[in-house]
Amino acid sequence: MTRKFTLQLLFAVLLCGSGFGQDKSVNPDINKSFQQPDVKTFIERFESEGREVYDHREEIIEACQLKPGMAVADIGAGTGLFTRMIAPRVTDRGQVYAVDIAKQFVDHVEKTCKEEGIKNVTGVVCTADSAELPNNSVDLAFICDAYHHFEFPYKTMRSIYRALKPTGQIVLVDFERIEGQSSDWILNHLRAGKSTFVNEIELAGFEVAEERDFLATSYWIRFKKSDRKSDSNHTTDSIDDVKRLLANGTAQIIDVREKNEWDAGHLAAAELVPLSMLRGLSSDQLNAKLAEQLPKDKIIYCHCRSGGRVLAATPILQELGYDIRPLSIGYSDLVGQGFKKAD
């Protein structure tokens, strides 16, 4: 085991409570009851008076402002309560994807839709780290009472990001979780509250577009896509976020300076990807060369000496499918901010 890897592992272990980790589930037990769900039991639980999102289901869907022709993905569709409400509103010109990790739920949603003559619903059995939807196909991803069940939130949210059209949006409904205020069940069941989830979703490439407050124990938030860039085209992610996401394995950092600069000093956590190489190779050559070095399911932070070359590297890596985020500060400033130098 290399020293760099040992350090990264140590950081990841220290910070695993912060959520949003990617290499392992942020909440391994949260979906136990959905492994072989007894659908009848969950219909009683999800589709009964007294559940706030059931009692306010009309307002929740009304606020989504659905239009005929829209493609909507109900992510974590469960027993299909919202899928069946969304389907007639987007009409037969539109499309609803009922997406869930539990095949029993997806089968049930397809069956009930068929029985009710609803023809525009497609079931999708997804994986714990991907919604498994076609790229650029969805206008709205509706996520009710499901985000806190995502075990790999960054990967799932990036898969949703890719599935959404450029103007695509997310509606998130989830429980408020407030220490000293929320019930013990909520405090134990949810790993975090609204501000953490909003921050995670923003970091996956979105910004808050609208918030409604008609629910007492839950929140309703609409997000739109955001390129998370400043006027200078550098990432708006804070240095604290960068450190946290590197430590928990959600992100990786690359140095696009040249080999002689790297040899004179570099960050312990960085990988060398010189700009001259990015410029000198074809896309196919780069894909082959970077396949081992850079994963496409992580945020890739990018630094150089003073924030200039990262801007040239960004479109090249973006073109290859990376979620690349150029840092405005360079090597020395990063060291000044506490990033460890390689020995």
Q: Which is nearer to ligand SAM, 61 or 304 (CB)?
A: 61
Q: Which is nearer to ligand SAM, 102 or 275 (CB)?
A: 102
Min dist CB 92 to ligand SAM, Å, is 23
Min dist CB 104 to ligand SAM, Å, is 9
Q: Which is nearer to ligand SAM, 156 or 250 (CB)?
A: 156
Q: Which is nearer to ligand SAM, 160 or 242 (CB)?
A: 160
Residue 337 CB neighbours (<10 A): 12
Cα–Cα distance, 241 to 320 (Å, whole number) = 24
Q: Which is nearer to ligand SAM, 102 or 118 (CB)?
A: 102
Min dist CB 72 to ligand SAM, Å, is 13
Mark 63-90 as b/e (b = at least 16 C-beta within 10 Å): bbebeeebbbbbbbbbbbbbbbbbbebb
In DSSP terms, 267 is beta-bridged to: 341
Q: Name the packing angle between helices 103-115 and 39-46 (round to 10°).
A: 70
Strands (DSSP E) contained in 250-320 are: 251-255, 270-272, 299-303
Please give the structure tokens belonging to residue 65: 């402002």
Rg, C-alpha atoms of the chain: 22
Q: Which is nearer to ligand SAM, 82 or 331 (CB)?
A: 82
Laid out side by side, the sheet with 218-225 consists of: 121-125, 95-100, 71-75, 138-144, 164-175, 218-225, 206-212
Min dist CB 45 to ligand SAM, Å, is 8
Nearest residue to the partner ligand SAM, using Cβ: 78
| Closest C-alpha among 224, 226, 222, 223 to residue 205 | 226
Min dist CB 198 to ligand SAM, Å, is 18
Cα–Cα distance, 42 to 300 (Å, whole number) = 40
Give the C-alpha distances (Å, rounded to integers) separating 83 from 123, 224, 232, 236: 10, 21, 42, 35
Number of residues written out for the chain: 343
Min dist CB 219 to ligand SAM, Å, is 14
Name, in order, each residue with C-beta under 8 angstroms of 165's C-beta and a sequence gap of 6 or more: 136, 137, 138, 139
Q: Which residue has the tokens 């950081």?
A: 11
| Closest C-alpha among 165, 109, 161 to residue 131 | 161
Chain contacts with ligand SAM (rule: CB under 6 A): 31, 34, 46, 53, 75-78, 81-82, 99-102, 105, 126, 128, 144-146, 149-150, 156
Min dist CB 325 to ligand SAM, Å, is 24
Q: Which is nearer to ligand SAM, 99 or 316 (CB)?
A: 99
Q: Which is nearer to ligand SAM, 215 or 313 (CB)?
A: 215
Min dist CB 188 to ligand SAM, Å, is 15
